[in-house]
Each structure stands twice: as C-alpha cells, then as structure tokens.
Amino acid sequence: MRAHRRAIGGRLRSFAPPLLARARPQWVGRSGWAVLLMALVAGTIGLSLGWVELVTLGLTSALVLVGAALFVIGRNTFRVQLEVAADRVVVGESAFARLAVTNSGTRPLLPARMEVPVGRSVAAFPLPRLNAGAEHEELLAIPTRRRAVILLGPVRSVRGDPFGLLGRTVTWTDPQPVYVHPRTVRLDEAATGFLRDLEGQPTSIISTSDISFHALREYVPGDDRRYVHWKSTARSVDGTIMVRQFEDTRRNHLAIALDDLSAGYTNELDFELAVSVCGSLGIQALHMEQDLTLTAAAPLPVGTRTRLLDGLSQLELRTHGRDFGAVSEGLVRRARSVSSVALVTGAKTPTEVIRKASNRFPPDVRVVAVRVADGAEAAHRVVGRLRMLTLGSLDDLPRLLRRAAVA
C-alpha cells in the first residue's frame, strides 16, 4: 500500500511542472497561482506520505479552483459601443462619452465589470446580469481641465470569481482620441497688424517686374520692353525711353516660434497661456488666408484650424533640449519668405535673448515678441525694431496687438 502511494506521489511530482506550464493563462491571478500551487504540493506530499490532512487540503484547493473557473469560463456575447459626444473640445468645456453594453446572445450573462481607460486613469463600471437582448448604459465624464490628447478606451470586460482567484479580460473596442484644445480669442485684422490684400505685401526690394508700381527710370539694355512706359517716353525732350520699376511683393506669411522649454517659464500656467497665444495668432492667420509656419522644438502641423489646434493639444513642456534661441534660429532657416514673425516665450527668458532672435530676421520683416506671465499687467514697449508685449491674460492679446500695429 505504501509503495502504491509512493508511485502515485511520484507521478504527481512528474506531472506538476508541465501542468503549471499549461495552466498559465492570462486570467489566473496571484491568488489563483497560490491556490493551484497549494493543491499540487499538498496533494503530492499527502499521497507520498499517506498524510490524509494534506490530501484533503490539496483536494479542497483543487475544488475551489474548479468552482472559480465556473465563473469565468464560457463565451461572452457582449456588443459594446463607446460613443463620444464630441472628440474635440476646448479646455473647460463639458465632454461625455456613452458606454452601451448589450447581450447579443441567447442566454443570460453573469455579472461582470467594464473598464474604460481615460488617459492615465481607469473608469470601472459594474455590469449587472444581462438577459438575452438586454442593454446596460453608463455615462462617462471626460476630464477637460487642461489641454491634452486623452485616449479613451479600449473598453474591456473583466469577469472574476468571488474569491478573486481567476479573472478573464476581453477587449471590445479600439482606443479613441479626444482632443482638448487650448483656449483662444478672436483677433481682428487691426489687432494683428498684418495686411490683407490680393496684391501681397510690398517689400523694399526693387525689381523690373511685379504688381506693386514704384517709379519710372531710364531704359537700360536688357530691360523687358513690355514694361516701357510709352506716354512718359513720348513726353521726354530727348526721346529717352522710360521703363516702369516695381517693388517686389510677397504673400503674407506669419511665422511663430514657441518656446516649449520649461526654463523660460515661471510655471505651467504661463506655458498654457503661451500655447493659447499661438493658437489665437495661428487661427487668425488661417482665417486671413495667410501662409503660416509654427515651430517649437519641432515644426507643428498648420494646414487647417483643426490640424493647428490638434498639434497644440499634443505639445508638452520640455525640461531639456534646444533653447529658445535655437528654436528661433531654426525658424529663420525653415521660413525664408516670412513677412511677420511672432516670438512667444515666458517671463524668465532674458530680453537680450529675444532681441538677438529678432535680429536674425531681415529688416523688412515685422517682429513682435510676446512674453507671458499669468496675472501680470499688460504692457507694450518698443526695443529697436522689436515690439515687446507683456501678457498676463489672454483677453489682453487683441488690445496689445492693436497697440503694436500702430507703434
């Protein structure tokens, strides 16, 4: 009899490692593995030594695992829908999502738990027992306190036993991004100080062919005869041929350099204000059908209003890397045909750094610098060719830009 028990114990010991390896599904928790190990060890030792108590403990543990498995096995026949009321909202606006779970099968489903990741947190909802065809709804609030891109989902169902030994997780939907856009203000044409016309913006560069007429001069060999001004030529005493001279015009092009390095700002609120300034300027430029370039540590998409605000929603404040001087220098190389430049940074950026950044642009380019400091008094001053604005509230931006436009 003893030899028989030893033979059974040896077989259990030989089967234990493969059994553990095969019984390692993802839905076995730590407690489940502990109970399974207890069942194998107690059963093996009990049978080997003829210890009835250990055999009973092993058998009881195995029965507990079998009972727990009854709660998680079986096919889930859920139909899950996650509907977002609006996938693009402004900071502070209300945003909600609707979670609808339907039993699409023909048999009742046991209670479960639905989990919906919302950014870095997870919202959990208890799902009651659902009869065939029954539906359960939950309303989910999306936090919009700060600018961000929030990934909503994927929705997953979790079924477990009352002992917490086993749990089965099934994913039902794909993640959905919700863009929380920065707050912006509307700027009129007078506030921006930028021209808007079909002929473009004249420059100080003189050419022999363009749209903006400048003056008349004497003909020199090589001039295009199409631009000979015959009336003035006919009135000349000595028959000197006169040709028209033009000012080169360029399409209005706004370039914005945003400082996204934390060293330039007092706190995160200042950076959020700077992002809102960039969004307001960019939207106005697109509305006026101007060319637009926006760059921080890397260029941001600016093709449409939505792309512009989506890109700003993804922007994060850096703690190291290129400083504001390097960012503005990269803007000079990237946007060579600019007519206006906005340098947006924080109060901790020295004035000398901003002045050097403005001097990198040609003399005929209008440069405005905006230094943000939440709660600071609005101010405007002229430093050489640079118009320096101090902004403490986004609502002050239109008024300050109007002052800069006439300075």
Residue 40: closest CA among 30, 7, 23 = 23
The side-by-side arrangement of strands in the sheet containing 201-207 is 201-207, 242-250, 212-218
Do 139 and 209 share a structural domain? no
For the chain, what is the mean pLDDT?
80
Do 148 and 58 share a structural domain? no
Do 257 and 402 share a structural domain? yes
pLDDT at 283 over 60: yes
Question: Taking phi first (over 0 means left), then psi (-120 to 50 degrees means alpha), and beta for anything else, what does residue 93 get?
Answer: beta
Average pLDDT rounded to a whole number, residues 353-376: 89
Average pLDDT rounded to a whole number, residues 267-283: 94
pLDDT at 294 over 90: yes
Do 139 and 160 share a structural domain? yes
Strand ranges, E, within 167-252:
167-171, 176-181, 201-207, 212-218, 242-250
Residue 163: closest CA among 25, 36, 23 = 36
Q: For the chain, what percent of residues have pLDDT higher than 90?
A: 35
The side-by-side arrangement of strands in the sheet containing 96-103 is 78-84, 96-103, 135-141
Do 372 and 277 share a structural domain? yes
Strand ranges, E, within 259-329:
291-295
CATH code, 305 = 3.40.50.410
Q: What is the pLDDT of residues 205-241, one digit of tens each?
A: 444 444 444 467 777 776 777 777 777 777 776 778 8
CATH code, 140 = 2.60.40.10
Residue 179: closest CA among 292, 341, 301, 49 = 301
The answer to whether 361 and 393 are in contact (CB under 8 A) is no
pTM over 0.85: no
As for how many domains the chain has, the answer is 4
Do 103 and 25 share a structural domain? no
Supply the pLDDT for residue 22. 38
Pinpoint the alpha helices (H) of 288-394.
305-314, 324-334, 351-359
Residue 258: closest CA among 227, 290, 281, 288 = 281
Do 142 and 284 share a structural domain? no
Supply the pLDDT for residue 306. 95
Do 295 and 321 share a structural domain? yes
What are the residues whose beta carbons fall under 8 Å from the beta carbon of 199, sequence distance 6 or more? 211, 212, 249
Domain containing 241 equals 203-250
Domain boundary among 72, 93, 108: 72
pLDDT at 203 over 50: no
Supply the pLDDT for residue 224. 74
pLDDT at 101 over 90: yes
CA distances from residue 303 to 221, 271, 277 in whole angstroms, order as listed: 44, 23, 18
Supply the pLDDT for residue 40. 83
Do 379 and 312 share a structural domain? yes
Average pLDDT rounded to a whole number, residues 158-184: 84
pLDDT at 5 over 50: no
Do 364 and 263 share a structural domain? yes
The answer to whether 136 and 126 are in contact (CB under 8 A) is no
Do 226 and 270 share a structural domain? no
pLDDT at 274 over 60: yes
Residue 150: closest CA among 121, 119, 128, 129 = 119
